[in-house]
Structure 1
Amino acid sequence: METKLFSPVTIKNVTLHNRIVMSPMCMYTANTDGKVKPFHITHYGSRAIGGVGLVMIEATSVTSEGRISNQDLGIWNDEQIDGLREIVKEIHRYDSKAAIQLAHAGRKAMADGDTIAPSAIPFNEKLKMPTEMDEKMIYDTIEDFKQGAVRAKEAGFDVIEIHGAHGYLINQFLSPLSNKRTDDFGGAIKDRYRFLEKIIDAINTVWNGPLFVRLSANEYAAGGNDINDFIYFSKRMKEQGVDLVDVSSGGVVVAPIQAYPGYQVTYAEQIRKEANIKTGAVGLITSGIQGEEILQNHRADLIFVGRELLRNPYWALQAAKELNVQIPTPKQYDRVWF
């Protein structure tokens, strides 16, 4: 039987040599100018050396004030392209593909400057009161995402992911818990989707590679979106040409989350089946055997690994050993792996 975790997969015009994805994780290491530092190149390159098929860099903000923190990477001006290009080159040097997550934190931004949101509701008592976005702010932000995609293409990324999860700006528009608008961008589900819809349309005018969207498929609070709403969003995204939904959960409001191994996989499975779109599974996936089970049972198409890849840059090699699969290894390390 073929081992699926280490089988290649082609999405649009990009072929990954396996189905392991390094999940985007903020490193809080950039200077306040949002530029890449040597750490980033080493950090992401080492995961490519370790055999990850697709290395996705952290949430990279399309505006300065939209950063989660002042130490986040940015893609809001052309001066940031060169550093991002160096990350891509390092990832490509080891035969992995490179992805970037385009993001805006909205009311959860903790960078310098004012915060914006669909409605003037703070995330909690510690964060700033956001300014409710008027129509100009909305369309300016859509353009910011588009220009982020232009710069991502210039930097050489193979895949773009739009961050629509974890309570950040796009998620804030999608959720009735944070979006109380009564105009074309709030109210009914189709109107709450409109902000993301227009961002996807704008990016599609400048990008023809694989396009992913990360969603939080459980809001863990009464009155929030449920799985049927996320199936609706996913169907709409597929109609717009989105290739894969990266299925996470939580973050739009303060709420307890009971995390256990594979706790988000059922959401990826449901969306994959009901919306007929590729999905990525993420969340306490810690072994190759676990990833293989998810793929063999058609519960997801890619396996996103986060903290395990922080603990061990060579997690992919470890997973291959678990599954008794021989994969290419850095020749410098051959003696310890097989």
Structure 2
Amino acid sequence: MQKRPLKKLFGALAIAVGLASSLAASAADPLKVGFVYIGPIGDHGWTYQHEQGRKALVEKMGDKITTSYVENVPEGADAERVIRNMAKDKYDLIFTTSFGYMNPTVKVAKQFPNVIFEHSTGYKQEKNLGTYLARTYEGRYVGGFLAAKMTKTKKVGYVASFPIPEVIRDINAIQLALNKYNPGTEMKVVWVNSWFDPGKEADAANALIDQGADVIFQHTDSPAPIQTAERRGVYAVGYASDMAHFGPKAVLTSIVNNWAPHYIATTQAVLDHTWKSQDFWGGLADGTVELPISDVVPANVKAEAEQIIADIKSGAFHPFTGPIKDQKGDVKIPAGSTATNADLASMNYYVEGLTATIPQ
């Protein structure tokens, strides 16, 4: 039998040891997690809350992961470029956090099948792309109840961003509560066509107050509408984060998005190799939506609001329970039925009581 030269044997052994060391190091490499943000992390609203979720993820996971983010990424071509660059940089998990990132995320996900993507507020999934959103309409309904109880003018204002289903269903949820608890209360909507523009948001809030609105809602990301309401002496409902400190005399409540539980659960699933694409809807029941009610609200009204919250959490009540009609009087959700996630995700009509039209 021919003997292997000792030098070659040592060489092969060195290669084997090196390969084993490389594999061990690879197995120990932290998971790379990326976040793409529509606004600045200091917006005190939508992006701020996603950033708080990322920080909570880092605190929970420690050296099992590394994270980074890109802020102020416009929807469209810029978003696609940023998402693709993250995928090229061998990120394992990428969260894209604005509705307008949907198509860019889908496109990049198809090009990088080994990367896992999660898109916030969208409705398109792939094998490696899941979606997630908050049932903010639950909080909006409670906010609508508070507005119905607190308004003196029977006029409520809404500073809106873009006419997408998420925004439309939140407007509808408020109107449903107004219809029930203070019939005839009118809601006026001003569209600013931006997620984050403090100047436009303040101008819209002022215009609504000038028209008689004494409770201001917003589906935009800066605290400008809250600050305007505080300055003008009317009430307001915050969005995305708890905005009470921006208007201590104005804020009735804030619809707070707590993304930390989803970010932690999703990342752990990726680490455990159990992640599957899904359409996640989180709400009051699981803590994705939180609703701190201010002491500006009288105790009896606060108690009633808390009972509505408890009923939503338990499943005893759903804000979109029929019969619900649109502006034309056509039944959209029959009596005894509750809107499905598909109904909510595609909502493109205003309910009875709203006199405005949806921009096309």
TM-score, normalising length from structure 2?
0.27
Q: Bigger radius of gyration, 1 or 2?
A: 2
TM-score, normalising length from structure 1?
0.29
The structure with the greater share of residues assigned to helix is 2
